[in-house]
Amino acid sequence: MASNYEGYKSPLSTRYASKEMQFLFSDMHKFSTWRRLWVWLAKAERSLGLEISEAQIAELEKEINNIDFDAAAAEERLTRHDVMAHVHVYAKQCPIGAPVIHLGATSCYVGDNTDLIVLRDALQLLLPRVAALISSLKQFAETYRGQPTLGFTHLQPAQLTTVGKRACLWIQDLLMDERALRRCLEDLRFRGVKGTTGTQASFLQLFNGDGEKVKQLDKLVTELAGFSKPYAVTGQTYSRKVDVEIVSALASLGTTVHKMCSDLRILASRKELEEPFETTQIGSSAMPYKRNPMRSERCCALARHLISLFSNAANTHATQWLERTLDDSANRRLTLSEAFLSADASLLTLLNISQGLVVYPKVIERHIAQELPFMSTENIIMAMVKAGGDRQVCHEKIRVLSQEAGAQVKQHGKDNDLVERVRKDPYFAPILDQLDDILDARTFTGRASDQVVEFIADEVNPVLARYADALKSVQNVQLSI
User: Does 151 fall in a domain?
Assistant: no
Q: Identify whether 284 is a catalytic site residue.
A: yes
User: Does 218 fall in a domain?
Assistant: no
User: Does 171 fall in a domain?
Assistant: yes
Query: Which pLDDT value is given to residue 475?
Result: 63
Helices (H), 144-275: 163-187, 201-206, 211-224, 241-269
Query: Which pLDDT value is given to residue 480?
Result: 62
Query: Which pLDDT value is given to residue 372?
Result: 81
pTM of the model: 0.89
The partner residues of 230 in beta bridges, in order of sequence, read: 190
Of 71, 100, 129, the position where a domain reaches its end is 100
What is the CATH classification number for the domain harbouring 391?
A: 1.10.40
Whether residue 255 is predicted with pLDDT greater than 90 in this model: the reply is: yes
Question: 83 with 119, same domain?
Answer: no
Query: Which pLDDT value is given to residue 23?
Result: 95
Question: 241 with 332, same domain?
Answer: yes
Query: Which pLDDT value is given to residue 66?
Result: 93
Of 42, 72, 100, the position where a domain reaches its end is 100
Q: Identify whether 154 is a catalytic site residue.
A: yes
For residue 292, what pLDDT band results from cuts at 50, 70 and 90? confident
Question: 252 with 332, same domain?
Answer: yes
Nearest to 127 by CA among 68, 74, 189, 183: 183
Output the average pLDDT for the chain. Answer: 91
Query: Which pLDDT value is given to residue 290?
Result: 53
- Of residues 154, 285, 412, 473, which has the active-site annotation? 154
* Region 101-126 average pLDDT: 94
Question: 131 with 241, same domain?
Answer: yes
Contact assessment for residue 231 and residue 59, using Cβ atoms and an 8 Å cutoff: no
Query: pLDDT tens across 58-104, in order?
Result: 999 999 999 999 999 999 999 999 899 999 999 999 999 999 999 98
Query: pLDDT tens across 404-418, in order?
Result: 888 888 888 888 888
Question: 95 with 112, same domain?
Answer: no
User: Does 196 fall in a domain?
Assistant: no
Of 44, 78, 100, the position where a domain reaches its end is 100
Percent share of the chain, pLDDT over 70: 95
User: Does 181 fall in a domain?
Assistant: yes
What string of DSSP letters covers 307-355? HHHHHHHHHHHHT--TT--GGGHHHHHHHHHHHHHHHHHHHHHHHHHHT
What is the CATH classification number for the domain harbouring 352?
A: 1.20.200.10
* Region 243-270 average pLDDT: 97
Query: Which pLDDT value is given to residue 281?
Result: 55
The partner residues of 148 in beta bridges, in order of sequence, read: 162
As for how many domains the chain has, the answer is 3
Question: 133 with 276, same domain?
Answer: yes
Question: 316 with 421, same domain?
Answer: no
Query: Which pLDDT value is given to residue 311?
Result: 95
CA 396 and chain centroid, separation: 52
Domain hosting 44: range is: 21-100
Question: 350 with 270, same domain?
Answer: yes
* Region 13-29 average pLDDT: 91
* Region 385-399 average pLDDT: 90
User: Does 365 fall in a domain?
Assistant: no
Contact assessment for residue 216 and residue 204, using Cβ atoms and an 8 Å cutoff: no
Question: 467 with 404, same domain?
Answer: no
Query: Which pLDDT value is given to residue 166?
Result: 97
Higher pLDDT, 392 or 9: 392
Helices (H), 8-156: 11, 19-24, 27-47, 54-62, 69-79, 82-93, 107-143
Question: 245 with 350, same domain?
Answer: yes
Nearest to 423 by CA among 413, 433, 415: 433
Query: Which pLDDT value is given to residue 280?
Result: 53
Query: Which pLDDT value is given to residue 479?
Result: 65
Whether residue 189 is predicted with pLDDT greater than 90 in this model: the reply is: yes
* Region 122-143 average pLDDT: 96
Query: pLDDT tens across 326-385, in order?
Result: 988 989 999 999 999 999 999 999 999 999 999 999 999 999 988 888 788 888 888 889
Query: pLDDT tens across 200-247, in order?
Result: 999 999 999 999 999 999 999 999 999 999 999 999 999 999 999 999
What is the CATH classification number for the domain harbouring 72?
A: 1.10.275.10
Query: pLDDT tens across 459-468, in order?
Result: 999 999 999 9
User: Does 113 fall in a domain?
Assistant: yes
The count of residues in the chain is 481
The dihedral of CA 320, 324, 210, 213: what is its sign?
Answer: negative
* Region 424-439 average pLDDT: 87
- Of residues 47, 53, 269, 284, which has the active-site annotation? 284
Dist CA 131 CA 375 (whole Å):
38
* Region 142-160 average pLDDT: 93
Question: 281 with 311, same domain?
Answer: yes
* Region 26-51 average pLDDT: 95
User: Does 369 fall in a domain?
Assistant: no
Question: 302 with 414, same domain?
Answer: no
